[in-house]
Chains A and B, each alone.
Chain A
Amino acid sequence: DTGVSQDPRHKITKRGQNVTFRCDPISEHNRLYWYRQTLGQGPEFLTYFQNEAQLEKSRLLSDRFSAERPKGSFSTLEIQRTEQGDSAMYLCASSLQGGATREKLFFGSGTQLSVL
């Protein structure tokens, strides 16, 4: 399977703990996005990378959130000191800038986070 993969699929944690999610994009894609989705809402943009550079972060992304994409390949999203309001589906997507598929996002299956 050469699609976008995310790990883990589900994560249950206690409030105050740190969690880290991983995303492996489609190999030839140079852009990688993180979104967050809660029930009944569309995905909300968090941050995106072009290659290894983090080009934009949403105001939604508090100081407790950090994302990296070392070497422009896989990415990690870390949430420190989790709060119950962080409970959501965290979606990763990748795209190829400049090609015919420009800006068409291909999503992973997401990581469902539950903070107790």
Chain B
Amino acid sequence: RKEVEQDPGPFNVPEGATVAFNCTYSNSASQSFFWYRQDCRKEPKLLMSVYSSGNEDGRFTAQLNRASQYISLLIRDSKLSDSATYLCVVSGGSYIPTFGRGTSLIVHP
């Protein structure tokens, strides 16, 4: 079983839609959680951290469920510019950030 698992998609949604991605992790000792965004042929960039109580940044909401060992990312009112790959990142006690394979999002007009 991979340490961090994501559905690769693609998720194909119209502008204005709400879309959600999940990511599961295997190490129950994991302590830090993030979502990164990666555009085609570009480097990953930090989108947001994920806190235990859940957190929101504009149209983006991230949540953590420690009991079921998953994190989620919700995007409301999707824009064309949201089209990208969204990478889930988990760090445990070793402080080595481990990436999922990413979920591809395509927002169409």
Task: Report A's interface with B, CB cutoff 8 A.
Answer: 31, 33, 35, 40-45, 48, 56, 91, 97, 102-110
Q: Are B43 and A91 in contact (CB under 8 A)?
A: yes
Of the listed stretches B12-20, B55-63, B69-77, B98-106, name the one at the interface; the rest are far from the partner chain: B98-106
Question: What residues of chain A lie closer than 8 Å to B91, measured between beta carbons?
Answer: 103
**Complex-state Cα separation, A86 to B32, whole angstroms:** 30
Residue of B nearest to A107 (CB): B43
Task: Give the dominant DSSP class at A's interface.
Answer: loop
Q: Known contacts A56-B94, A103-B91, A104-B34: does B99 contact A42 (CB below 8 Å)?
A: yes
Interface centre among A41, A56, A97, A104 (most CB of B within 10 A): A104
Q: Are B96 and A109 in contact (CB under 8 A)?
A: no
Report B17-51 CB contacts with A as 1/0, cut-off 8 Å: 00000000000000010101000001111100100
Q: Are B96 and A48 in contact (CB under 8 A)?
A: yes
Q: Are B99 and A104 in contact (CB under 8 A)?
A: no
Q: Are A44 and B97 in contact (CB under 8 A)?
A: no
Q: Known contacts A42-B87, A48-B96, A97-B95: does B101 contact A106 (CB below 8 Å)?
A: no
Residues of chain B in range 81-100 having any CB-CB distance to chain A below 8 Å: 87, 89, 91, 94-100
Question: What residues of chain B lie closer than 8 Å to A106, measured between beta carbons?
Answer: 46
Q: Are B99 and A107 in contact (CB under 8 A)?
A: no
- Pull 10 A–B residue pairs with CB atoms less than 8 Å apart, ordered by A: A33-B96, A40-B8, A42-B4, A42-B6, A45-B98, A48-B96, A103-B97, A106-B46, A107-B45, A108-B43
Q: Which of B45, B49, B95, B99 contacts A43 (CB 8 A)?
A: B99
Question: What residues of chain B lie closer than 8 Å to A45, measured between beta carbons?
Answer: 96-99
The 10 residue pairs across chains A and B that have the minimum distance between CB atoms: A42-B99, A107-B43, A42-B101, A43-B99, A103-B32, A103-B91, A42-B102, A41-B101, A42-B100, A109-B43
**Complex-state Cα separation, A91 to B44, whole angstroms:** 9
Q: Known contacts A56-B94, A103-B32, A104-B49: does B99 contact A44 (CB below 8 Å)?
A: yes
Q: Known contacts A42-B87, A103-B32, A104-B49: does B96 contact A56 (CB below 8 Å)?
A: yes
Q: How far is the CB of A57 from chain B (nearest CB, A)?
A: 11
Q: Which of A35, A42, A102, A105 contacts B46 (CB 8 A)?
A: A105
